Amino acid sequence: MSEIEAYLGMGGYGPFIWAAYFLSTFILVGLLAQSRRVLKKQEALLLRLKAIQRGDRND
Amino acid sequence: MLMHRYANPTRFIRIADTIFPWAGGIMVAAFVIGLYLALLTSPADYQQSEMVRIMYIHVPAAWMALFTYAFMALSSAAVLIWKHPLALLSAKAAAPIGASFTVICLATGSLWGKPMWGTWWVWDARLTSVLILLFLYLGYIALINAFDESERGGKAASLLALVGAINLPIIKYSVDWWNTLHQPASVFRLDGPAIHSDMLWPLIVMAIAFKMFLLTTLLTRVKSELTAVRVRNIQRSLNGNLV
- ipTM score: 0.90
**pLDDT, mean over chain A:** 91
Looking at the domain assignment, is residue B205 inside a domain? yes
Q: Which of B133, B121, B124 is nearest to B168 (CA)?
A: B133
Give the mutation candidate from B57, B206, B218, B219 for the A interface (greatest A CB count, under 10 A).
B57
8 Å CB contact of B224 and A13? no
Please report, rounded to a whole number, the percentage of residues in chain B having pLDDT higher than 70: 95
Looking at the domain assignment, is residue B142 inside a domain? yes
pLDDT in tens, chain B (243 residues): 445 555 677 888 899 999 999 999 999 999 999 999 999 989 888 888 899 999 999 999 999 999 999 999 999 999 999 988 899 999 999 999 999 999 999 999 999 999 999 999 999 999 999 999 999 999 999 999 887 666 778 899 999 999 999 999 999 999 989 888 899 888 888 788 888 888 999 999 999 999 999 999 999 999 999 999 999 999 988 887 765
8 Å CB contact of A21 and B39? yes
- The pair phi, psi for residue B195, each rounded to 5°, is -145, 140
Looking at the domain assignment, is residue B34 inside a domain? yes
3-class SS of residue A13: coil
Q: Residue B141 in contact with residue B91, Cβ under 8 Å?
A: no
> Which residue range(s) make up the domain with B117?
23-43+51-180+197-236
| B231 to A59, B88, B136, B151: CA distances (angstroms) | 21, 17, 29, 17
3-class SS of residue B43: coil
Give residue ranges of B with CB < 8 Å to any A CB: 39, 44, 49-51, 53-54, 57-58, 61, 96-97, 100, 103-104, 107-108, 111-112, 114-115, 213, 216-217, 220-221, 223-224, 227-228, 230-231, 234-235, 237-238, 241
Dist. CA B205–CA B201, nearest whole Å: 6
8 Å CB contact of A28 and B230? no
On whether any CB of chain B is under 8 Å from the CB of A39, the answer is yes
Residues facing residue B45 across a β-bridge? B49
Looking at the domain assignment, is residue B187 inside a domain? no
B205 class by beta-carbon count within 10 Å (0-12 exposed, 13-18 middle, 19+ buried): buried
8 Å CB contact of B231 and A13? no
Q: What dihedral do alpha carbons B197, B199, B202, B204 form, nearest 10°?
A: -60
**CA-atom Rg of chain A in angstroms:** 24
Looking at the domain assignment, is residue B76 inside a domain? yes
Dist. CA B222–CA B67, nearest whole Å: 17
On whether any CB of chain B is under 8 Å from the CB of A6, the answer is no
Q: Which of B65, B55, B47, B75 is nearest to B187 (CA)?
A: B55
Global pTM?
0.92
Looking at the domain assignment, is residue B192 inside a domain? no
Q: How far is B57 from chain A (nearest CA, A)?
A: 7
Q: Which of B86, B20, B3, B30 is nearest to B209 (CA)?
A: B30
Looking at the domain assignment, is residue B1 inside a domain? no
Domain tally, chain B = 1
On whether any CB of chain B is under 8 Å from the CB of A8, the answer is no
Indicate the DSSP class of residue B37. Answer: I
Looking at the domain assignment, is residue B241 inside a domain? no
Q: Among A27, A32, A53, whose Cβ lies nearest the Cβ of B103? A: A27
Dist. CA A6–CA A11, nearest whole Å: 7
Q: Residue B29 in contact with residue B97, Cβ under 8 Å?
A: no
- For residue B160, the model assigns a pLDDT of 96
